[in-house]
């Protein structure tokens, strides 16, 4: 019955996806991040719903009025160049015989970048940006609530050994996605005027944190810690926020299970874990130095590991031990080469710099604005990835590319409003948003108009 209901929902949405490609993007994001198909047990579980939605959406996009497939932003062209370089690297890999696994991973990578590019093409307005952020936040937040409630019911004795599926199948990837989702939920909750929705979103935040704890992922722990630090630093009352953060950290450390404390303590005390990571990083560096242009081949770090490790362990020789780079950046450098590595870093750096630039310009015009809060929210999300990916093997994470695209949209919409602040002062504001407040003129008084001032989307 559940399979039939889910299938009818998706099939019923297909005509809407054809007529409104933006709705198709929302449905695709919902399927990718909430993984509704994983809640079924029969034929609907293994169906390629995302591909069906993507095909119908693209057909509708080209059947409608002629428009650009993606925003002509330098970062989009750089992501296309990254796809091309990785493809050439596969064709000219040292094996001279790309295997099925490598080809499948490359197709998945092309899909990831394609979704990011398409997002910049169909999402054009502030309201569309807001809806897309809501869909991503609620989709991931649903999983946080599901696993968080389970953790409370089991008194924290359980552990998430595997995520729901798809890009979240690995527990480390799942914890990273939860950490990146938390700023979205917090920002929406603080900016929402309707009390029921406000409480619902704010309740999701601790449940998401509990979910990260249940994964026992050390990378996830560092990511969520980085998110809290960024949000506290960017808050209006920085000292009070940092003190509150310290109290929350102390309280959390007291109530978490001892097994989790031992796991987190091993970050600095486990010599074996540290030695293994350092060894993997050294191997990745040697791979990159020996193959500086195209790398050893997309997805072939493990295959070439023993060639660059003079002292492998018995488990590595027998294939029992998991061989990974333990660092997303070194993984890309070793597998894809220096040009791809530099493009990857440049796209991330440009995205973060664009957030800083937009926030600085917004503060010159407004004392309070949704632009400032969105910039802080996206910055915290990207910091979560930057920290987590330093210790996790997730070089091409779907959420990163999608958020890069979302930041491009945000930058374009925000700069348009900053250029003409009076034109956009009340236009497009919803009930849950705060009106623009000019930074000059009659001081920095907040025009509340019955809206909450904490967070403020608009």
- DSSP assignment of 304-341, as one string? TGGGS-SS--HHHHHT-S----S-HHHHHHHHH-HHHH
Residue matched to tokens 């160049």:
81
Beta strands in 81-179 (DSSP E): none
How does 225-255 read in b/e, with b if 16+ C-beta sit within 10 Å?
bbbbbbbbebbeeeeebeeebeeeeeeeeee
What is the model's pLDDT at position 424?
65
Whether the Cβ atoms of residue 204 and residue 189 lie closer than 8 Å to each other: yes
Give the dihedral sign, CA 242/248/251/254: negative
Per-residue pLDDT of the chain (458 residues; tens, 9 = 90+): 788 999 999 999 999 999 999 999 999 999 999 988 888 888 888 888 999 999 999 999 988 877 788 999 999 999 999 999 999 988 887 665 566 677 888 888 999 999 999 999 999 899 999 999 999 999 999 999 999 999 888 877 778 878 887 778 888 889 999 999 999 999 999 888 888 989 999 999 999 999 999 988 888 889 999 999 998 888 888 888 888 888 888 888 888 877 777 777 776 555 456 677 788 888 999 999 998 998 888 888 888 888 888 877 777 777 677 778 888 999 999 999 999 999 999 999 999 999 999 999 999 888 778 999 999 999 999 999 999 998 888 878 889 999 999 999 999 999 998 888 776 665 544 444 433 444 444 333 333 333 333 334 43
Question: Which pair of tokens denotes residue 153?
Answer: 């019911």
Full-model pTM: 0.87
């Amino acid at each position: 019955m559940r399979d039939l209901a889910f299938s009818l929902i998706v099939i019923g949405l297909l005509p809407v996806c054809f007529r409104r490609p933006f709705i198709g993007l929302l449905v695709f994001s919902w399927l990718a991040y909430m993984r509704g198909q994983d809640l079924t047990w029969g034929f609907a579980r293994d169906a390629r719903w995302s591909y069906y939605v993507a095909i119908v959406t693209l057909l509708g996009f080209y059947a409608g009025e002629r428009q650009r497939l993606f925003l002509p932003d330098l970062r989009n062209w750089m992501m296309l160049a990254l796809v091309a370089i990785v493809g050439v690297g596969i064709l000219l890999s040292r094996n001279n015989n790309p295997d099925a696994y490598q080809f499948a991973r490359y197709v998945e990578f092309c899909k990831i970048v394609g979704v990011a590019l398409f997002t910049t093409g169909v999402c054009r307005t502030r309201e569309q940006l807001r809806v897309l952020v809501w869909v991503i936040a609620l989709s991931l937040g649903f999983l946080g609530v599901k696993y968080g409630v389970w953790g409370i019911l089991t008194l924290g004795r359980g552990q998430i050994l595997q995520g729901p599926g798809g890009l979240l199948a690995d527990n480390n990837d799942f914890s990273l996605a939860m950490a990146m989702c938390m700023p979205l939920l917090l920002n929406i909750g603080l900016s929402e005027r309707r009390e029921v929705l406000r409480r619902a979103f704010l309740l999701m935040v601790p449940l998401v944190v509990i979910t990260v704890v249940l994964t026992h992922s050390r990378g996830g722990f560092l990511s969520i810690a980085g998110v809290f630090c960024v949000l506290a630093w960017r808050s209006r009352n920085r000292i009070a926020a940092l003190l509150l953060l310290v109290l929350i950290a102390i309280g959390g450390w007291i109530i978490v299970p001892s097994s989790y404390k031992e796991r987190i303590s091993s970050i600095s005390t486990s010599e074996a874990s540290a030695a293994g990571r350092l060894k993997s990083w050294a191997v990745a560096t040697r791979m990159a130095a020996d193959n500086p242009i195209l790398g050893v081949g997309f997805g072939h770090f493990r295959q070439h590991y023993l060639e660059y490790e003079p002292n492998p362990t018995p488990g590595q020789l027998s294939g029992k031990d998991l061989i990974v780079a333990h660092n997303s950046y070194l993984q890309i450098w070793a597998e894809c080469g220096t040009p791809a590595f530099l493009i990857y870093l440049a796209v991330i750096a440009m995205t973060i710099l664009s957030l800083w630039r937009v926030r600085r310009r917004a503060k010159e015009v407004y004392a309070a604005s949704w632009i400032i809060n969105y910039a802080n929210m996206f910055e915290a999300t990207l910091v979560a990835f930057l920290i987590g990916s330093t210790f996790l093997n997730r070089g091409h994470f779907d959420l990163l590319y999608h958020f890069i695209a979302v930041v491009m949209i945000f930058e374009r919409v925000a700069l348009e409003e900053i250029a003409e602040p009076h034109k956009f002062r009340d236009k497009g504001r919803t009930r849950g948003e705060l009106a623009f407040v000019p930074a000059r003129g009659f001081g920095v008084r907040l025009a509340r108009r019955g809206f909450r001032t904490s967070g403020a989307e608009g």
